[in-house]
Structure 1
Amino acid sequence: MAAALAGCDTGEADPAQGGEEVSSETGVEEFTGTLDRTFAGEAIPAVMLSDPAGITMELADSGDRPILLNLWATWCAPCVVEMPLLDALAGELGEDVRVLTVSEDLSGADAVVPFFEERGFTNLPRWMDPNNDLAIAFGGGAVLPLTVLYNADGKEVWRVIGSYDWGSEEARVLVQEALADDG
């Protein structure tokens, strides 16, 4: 029996959400995210993010290379499963695509810092959106995880709603679209 990882929809006090079921027999996971291209061409939101040190960044001014933007939370079981895969992908992509992970945890650094320290991620930034401005920019109540790929011009290429296997060859092919996209 494979694990089914759904999306999380709220930050209630529960430790984890999302219908996670893990098989002790195979350890195989089924990622149920949906690829959506209906927002292609939309501009990256103009939202201010911060890191645990208090450094801020205007998301819309985050560079001139493609961006893989992942909204996640420590209480979201599918998000937690995705993070090591995103860390590995960010390491493989290097400077070609900027991977930005943005926590939607309301407690900000109090949740994010220990989460990263416990897991030893080396390729992911610790950006936070404790007011959920980014989730609101995506229509409010965004299902987590939500991952959006932007080309170098800051225009959306596609988004994945829910969990996704970022360690797969299919993921690498999809991310390469941003490098080939003229905008």
Structure 2
Amino acid sequence: MADGNRFFFPATRLVLAALAAGVLAGAVAVYVSESGYGNKAPDKVAATGSKDDVACEAKAERARQVAAKAVGQVAALQPADPPQSLKGLAFNGPDGKPMTIADHAGKTVLLNLWATWCAPCRAEMPALDALQKEKGSNAFEVVAVNVDTGDDAKPKKFLKDIGVEKLGYYRDPTIGLFNEVKTRGLALGLPVTMLIDSEGCLIAHMNGPAGWSSPDAKRLVEAALTPSG
């Protein structure tokens, strides 16, 4: 339920029901934060040591500067340590065809992984849609990737039922994307969100839900879009 700029998450019984559904579906862990937003991030991010990673590692100070703007309802966002290239992260685009983060070159991306059985994911989806509606542009996009296994029927119905209007329909029914992010040390469960700059470099990340329609989130996006220096 939304109330102005504050976004509230489901009651305990709904979260527990989602957890049970996730276990039955063989799903990954769900994050729950009764008192607010976000959860502790993994201790260390594992980069691959590629040429692109080396270029991204030079942005460590930039990552710290942007993450310093993550306060209030997005305070769980942590700077990438070290920044790494996420150009190769793969999923299906709105047209159903395979794509990667590299296809968003030139655009800052807020990449969010979600599933219909994850109650906190479902709860933050209208806020992500609102953020895309207000801040989406040629320079910024919220890329919310659904990771339900199976066909498109359930996630598409969910998005239609809650009135999502601005988010593109991105999908990965193979769990490959989540597993890749987990291998890199970025994900402990769902939801997981990554702030990626226009060159495909991870700048900041968090595990757990956040108030993405809040003024705090909008200021964070503005900081990410402001040239360094």
Q: Shared fold by TM > 0.5?
A: yes
> How many equivalent residue pairs?
174
Root-mean-square deviation over aligned CA pairs = 3.1
Contact preservation (8 Å) 2:87, 2:100: no
| Whole-angstrom CA distance in 2 between matches of 1:158 and 1:20 | 20
- Structure 1: which 5+ runs fail to align? 22-28
Checking the alignment, whether the CA contact within 8 Å between 2:38 and 2:206 is kept in structure 1 is no
CA distance in 1, matches of 2:87, 2:105: 13
Q: Which residue of 1 aligns with 2:136?
A: 94
Deviation at 1:52, TM superposition (A): 6.8
Task: Mark the CA change 1:115 to 1:39 in structure 2 (over 3 Å): closer, same or farther.
Answer: farther
Q: If each structure's strand is expressed as a fraction of its own residues, which one has the higher value?
A: 1
Structure-1-length-normalised TM-score: 0.79
TM-score by length of 2: 0.65
Secondary structure, aligned partner of 2:77: strand
Aligned 8 A contact 1:90 1:98 in 2: yes
Consecutive unaligned residues of structure 2, counting only runs of 5 or more, are 1-7, 40-75
Alignment-mate amino acid for residue 171 of structure 1: A
**Between Structure 1 and Structure 2, whose CA radius of gyration is higher?**
2
Q: In structure 1, which of residues 56, 61, 65 is the aligned counterpart of residue 103 of structure 2?
A: 61
CA contact (8 A) 1:108 1:128 kept: no
Contact 2:80 2:202 in 1 (8 A): no
2:187 is equivalent to residue 139 of structure 1: no
Deviation at 1:178, TM superposition (A): 2.1
The answer on whether the counterparts of 1:31 and 1:164 sit within 8 Å (CA) in structure 2 is: yes
SS of residue matched to 1:106: coil
How far apart are residue 47 of structure 1 and its match?
A: 3.1
Q: Compare 71-80 and 171-180 and name the one that shifted more.
A: 171-180
Higher normalized helix content (fraction of residues): 2
2:214 is the counterpart of 1:168: yes
Q: What residue is the counterpart of 2:37 in the other structure?
A: 31
Give me the whole-angstrom Cα distance separating, in 1, the residues matched to 2:182 and 2:227: 25
Identity over the aligned pairs, expressed in percent? Answer: 30
